[in-house]
Amino acid sequence: MAHTTVRTPSTVGNFGPGFDATSLAIAWGGDTVRVTVADEDHITLEGAGAEQVPTAWADNCCSAAFTFLRDRHGVSDKHNLHITKGVHPGSGLGSSASSSAAGALAFAKLYPEVTVWTPEAVVEAATYGEARVAGAHGDDVAAAIMGGLSIVAKGRVGRVQPPASLHLAICVPRFSLETRLMREAVGKTVAVPDAVSNLANVAFLVDAMHRGDIDMIAHSLTDRIAAPGRKQHLPFHDDVVKAATDAGAIGCAISGSGPAMFTVTDDAKQAKVFAEAMADAVAEHGREAFPLACKAERTRVFDQILR
């Protein structure tokens, strides 16, 4: 019986100033999907927050991405998808993106003969899948598919290799925020000074990634487009930023649409200190959070799976 298994990483969406345009894959969490040709379409789930994920084929983002490609390429087989969740939905670490990316990559791996696969084609399918739960923006699915720092815009997909010295400190509150709600929190218009600030920070961010300048990456995390509205749903936001900077961090930002928050450093031990300080700040607001220190996922995921 034909089958394949694919794992894709978790992500830090927006990565500071790059709202809907940039995301960083991280070497932690992620989703695994095992696909088997079957008599009928069926989904089974296990892992972190699996009970929150739809099992109906028409409602699941992983199966939506998979079916997008199956229909496009005229494959008549039916399939069973067994999804193992590595990160809770609504945590701000790309749960739906990882599932959608895994579904699209799994189809491409199972049916390599139907076309010449490109990152753009797989990202398109995964973006369609993620739209089922989080809107069609593409930054997170691109990072989950390609690894590293992704850059997306209207069908174009770019990738920047993060420096090996990049460490992330993340605090992950133990509650979920609906991505659609957090997208609605972002204003419909942007003041020119705020747009200029974010544009400059994205440019500095990409330059710093190329040069391996971790301090400049940290300086570039400031977001004046999405964060002002989203922080209203994160009562601990300002205290987490203060805790991180008091511990020695240069900058701090919301991961994806939250509630997770992150900063960066070039030192693994320092990353643990930052993450613990940030989690403690969340606890001061009566919310439990776990500290996470990890590295960027530098593997070229698409090439590893399909080449």
For residues 249-279, b (16+ Cβ closer than 10 Å) or e, as one string? bbbbbbbbbbbbbbbbbbeeebbbbbbbbbb
In this structure, the answer to whether residues 104 and 222 fall within a common structural domain is no
In this structure, the answer to whether residues 71 and 122 fall within a common structural domain is yes
pLDDT in tens, 22-48: 999 999 999 999 999 999 999 999 999
**pLDDT beneath 50: ranges in the chain:** none
In this structure, the answer to whether residues 243 and 118 fall within a common structural domain is no
Token duo for residue 215: 């301090």
In this structure, the answer to whether residues 42 and 122 fall within a common structural domain is yes
Tally of domains within the chain: 2
Q: What's the CA gap between 29 and 277, in Å, rounded?
A: 21
In this structure, the answer to whether residues 59 and 81 fall within a common structural domain is yes
Q: What's the CA gap between 68 and 235, in Å, rounded?
A: 39
Query: At 96, which CATH number?
Result: 3.30.230.10
**pLDDT value for 1:** 57
In this structure, the answer to whether residues 128 and 13 fall within a common structural domain is yes
Map 182-199 to HEC letters.
HHHCCCCCCCHHHHHHHH
In this structure, the answer to whether residues 71 and 191 fall within a common structural domain is no
In this structure, the answer to whether residues 112 and 27 fall within a common structural domain is yes
**pLDDT value for 84:** 98
Q: What's the CA gap between 182 and 194, in Å, rounded?
A: 19
Query: At 223, which CATH number?
Result: 3.30.70.890
Task: Enumerate residues 6+ apart whose C-beta is below 8 A from 307.
Answer: none
The number of angstroms, rounded, from the C-alpha of 228 to the middle of its chain's C-alpha atoms is 20
Token duo for residue 196: 């200029």
In this structure, the answer to whether residues 302 and 269 fall within a common structural domain is no
pTM: 0.95
In this structure, the answer to whether residues 195 and 243 fall within a common structural domain is yes
Token duo for residue 98: 């990882």
Question: Residue 9: which domain range?
Answer: 3-161+297-306
Largest distance between two CA atoms of the chain: 58
- Phi, psi dihedrals of residue 41, rounded to the nearest 5°: -70, 135
What string of DSSP letters covers 164-232? TT-EEEEEEESS---HHHHHHTS-SS--HHHHHHHHHHHHHHHHHHHHT-HHHHHHTT--SSSHHHHGG
Q: Can you tell me whether residue 264 is helix, strand or coil?
A: strand
Strand-strand pairing, 78-85 and 42-47: parallel
In this structure, the answer to whether residues 252 and 289 fall within a common structural domain is yes
Token duo for residue 182: 């957090």
In this structure, the answer to whether residues 190 and 67 fall within a common structural domain is no
Around 223, how many Cα atoms within 13 Å sit in the side-chain half-sphere?
A: 30
